[in-house]
Amino acid sequence: MAEKDKIKWNNKYKNTPTLLEKREASKKLINIIKEIKGKKALEIACGAGRNSIFLAQNDFEVEALDISDVAIENLKKKNIRNITVKQIDLENFKPNENSYDLIVKTNYLDRDIIPNLVKALKKDGILLVETYMDHISNEKPPSNPDFLLKKDELKTFFDEKFEIVEYDEFDNEKNELFKMRKQSISVRKI
């Protein structure tokens, strides 16, 4: 496990407990849920589990993964039916192929994991990626510019085997610590 990342995220949740408070699911997820044909979902870097909780409340069977002990324990304490919570180092994560109807990855950028996620989608499955991008309006300077997407970058990860359901660039939610520009894409495996 990437011990350095685990320590970083544990400290972030301990020092900013508001990150573990109940929050609304991603608006992009709320809008796309009607497009999902099955009920098996995976959330990558789930944090406090806002998206996993929303999916479970909508009758999905959810696997929620994160590296942080603090986030994982917080989500486990909620004891929500239909959510299986696992602590995992995402850098070495390889999900089974053709396993999920929906995969959600928000506020976490690891470009190398995307090819594994697209393989893990079932036919007609949807992958939703939503994360921060480099933009002049961002209030928080990046600790590492590689953690921010370039303009239109998400579109470059998918070939003709995928249909873009929605692509957007927008300002993050008002409850975030800093105003940041985000990029999102929902693609369907055809």
All domains in the chain, ordered by first residue: 3-14+25-154 (3.40.50.150)
Q: What is the pLDDT of residue 50?
A: 93
Q: What is the pLDDT of residue 107?
A: 87
How far apart (Å, rounded) are the C-alpha atoms in residues 137 and 51? Answer: 26
Burial of 51 (0-12, 13-18, 19+ CB in 10 A): buried
How far apart (Å, rounded) are the C-alpha atoms in residues 121 and 128? Answer: 11
Task: Report the candidate in 103, 104, 105, 107 with the shortest Cα–Cα distance to residue 172.
Answer: 107
Task: Say which residues have a Cβ less than 8 Å from residue 136's Cβ, sequence separation at least 6.
Answer: none
Contacts 24+ apart (CB under 8 A), 151-159: 152/183, 153/183, 154/129, 154/183, 154/184, 154/185, 155/185, 157/111, 157/114, 157/118, 158/118, 158/185, 158/187
pTM recorded for the entire structure: 0.91
Q: What is the pLDDT of residue 84?
A: 94
Q: What is the pLDDT of residue 1?
A: 54
Task: Say which residues have a Cβ less than 8 Å from residue 170's Cβ, sequence separation at least 6.
Answer: 181, 182, 184
Q: What are the residue ranges in the chain where pLDDT is below 70?
A: 1, 142-143, 175-177
Q: Count H helices and E strands in the chain, helices first.
A: 5, 7
Q: What is the pLDDT of residue 12?
A: 87
Q: What are the structure tokens assigned to 10, written together?
A: 């544990």
How far apart (Å, rounded) are the C-alpha atoms in residues 125 and 99? Answer: 9
